[in-house]
Structure 1
């Protein structure tokens, strides 16, 4: 698998089809795998959070969840073939799962995980939802969460605590999750799948303007958008 290093973080040069192929293969190889969905903002956070950066450097698969990463790769004379968003990746993966490949939804905002699970079951009636639980990334919640996940005997764990909390949580506790084969940090995916937040029109997604759509819906994200759209490109340009 070819990887492109951007600001010290390896990004896998995969298409959506290839990313799904790897994820499904991970379910059958008997190992435990962490899949991350890095974007511009996450790479900036990783510059100041060494623990988070170390997790991204060792995860099994880092799919490129922003057009900014494709641009950054091109600046280095390398290629990331396409943007693979966490939302689309999660939906397409759940479309392909059989009944014995169950999914546990951890995190999300005010029941978004449960609603996301219900929405995905409408798309794939064969999808087995092992459980949903909001919980929190706090270490005090970990014993309860681990017990729930282990009791569910799930194969796939989707964690929606936002970065870097979700990646750090997966890295710390994945080995305690007996049946889990694939754990994915999915950020705001539950919000989109549940319909709590509407996705940008396809034309804006194709043009890399999904950030602008989100800003219209969530003006409080302006600081995060500034980092993703202005600070990230500057750091890439200034990096060796």
Structure 2
């Protein structure tokens, strides 16, 4: 199987072609890719990512060259529909990771993780039963250190797995995934998933389901960690409204 988005219905929003698939359909597509398939990667842009892409167009190839693009924002989807724009189905990265670990990855299957403290990986082993985790936690700022970046790429290539979890934050994880795809050595599927594994192992708590369904998970996270997230949610991300309005206006003209 080639790129997991091949043949999938897509909807274009803010310059990206998103797969319009349900979570079970995404899990089935990813589970069908063999471990030795040419490396492809999954991105799950949210409002913060989309605003960053508008401000830093040089990052766009990282998303355009992904094998699968999924919208990870109920807020963006609802705002788009309110403005008359098409919006793909929302597949949160955290839900995708939980489904893959729970349904598609056997306990004895090797997986590779880039990022997360070693102690968090040990918690993940105990809580999920995953027994064959290859783990490398690169230093802060590794994306600006050629030697550290190459070390991260080499580690992933030396530990092939059907699923590689890239948990070093955006846009770093997309930079790593794109570099792996361009080098052409790695195999399987890379998942740019941020803090999703921390949610899965219980070291960070997700909002309750009703809060998630209401599109207010961002407010839950802001209340839990205001110092780190205030700028993201209160200063940067609201620009998504302007971007969607501009797109709606362009489509009408």
Q: TM (normalized to structure 1)?
A: 0.86
Cα distance change, pair 152–28 in 1 and its aligned pair in 2 (3 A)? closer
Alignment partner of 1:197 is 2:194: no
Cα distance change, pair 76–128 in 1 and its aligned pair in 2 (3 A)? farther
Q: Secondary structure at the match of 1:93?
A: helix
Alignment partner of 1:54 is 2:61: yes
The size of the alignment, in residue pairs, is 234
Deviation at residue 78 of structure 1 after TM alignment: 2.3
- The question of whether the paired residues in 1 share the 8 Å contact of 2:38 and 2:187 is answered with no
Which stretch of structure 1 is more off in the superposition, 184-193 or 162-171? Answer: 184-193
Q: Deviations over 1:57-108 (max 9, x none)?
A: 1211111111023225423442423x21111101111222236742111112
Cα distance change, pair 13–46 in 1 and its aligned pair in 2 (3 A)? same
CA RMSD of aligned residues (A): 2.3
Q: Secondary structure at the match of 2:45?
A: coil
Deviation at residue 133 of structure 1 after TM alignment: 1.7
Partner of 2:50: 43
Q: Secondary structure at the match of 1:166?
A: helix
- After TM superposition, what 4+ stretches of structure 1 lie above 4 angstroms from structure 2? none
- The question of whether the paired residues in 2 share the 8 Å contact of 1:91 and 1:120 is answered with no
Which stretch of structure 1 is more off in the superposition, 222-231 or 208-217? Answer: 222-231
Q: Secondary structure at the match of 2:133?
A: strand
- The question of whether the paired residues in 1 share the 8 Å contact of 2:117 and 2:137 is answered with yes
Q: Deviations over 1:128-184 (max 9, x none)?
A: 533122114433213333343333332211001111111011101235474531011
Alignment partner of 1:132 is 2:135: yes
Deviation at residue 31 of structure 1 after TM alignment: 2.5
Cα distance change, pair 227–53 in 1 and its aligned pair in 2 (3 A)? farther
- The question of whether the paired residues in 2 share the 8 Å contact of 1:114 and 1:132 is answered with no
Cα distance change, pair 59–24 in 1 and its aligned pair in 2 (3 A)? same
C-alpha distance in 2 between matches for 1:133 and 1:111: 12
Alignment partner of 1:94 is 2:101: yes
Partner of 1:124: none
C-alpha distance in 1 between matches for 2:73 and 2:132: 28
Partner of 1:112: 120
Partner of 2:187: 180
Q: TM (normalized to structure 2)?
A: 0.82
- The question of whether the paired residues in 1 share the 8 Å contact of 2:125 and 2:131 is answered with no
Structure 2: segments with no counterpart, 5+ residues: 1-7
2:91 to 53, 75, 84: 84
1:215 to 222, 227, 234: 222
Q: Secondary structure at the match of 2:206?
A: coil
C-alpha distance in 1 between matches for 2:165 and 2:13: 25
C-alpha distance in 2 between matches for 1:227 and 1:3: 30
Structure 1: segments with no counterpart, 5+ residues: 122-126
Q: Secondary structure at the match of 2:156?
A: helix
C-alpha distance in 1 between matches for 2:40 and 2:52: 22
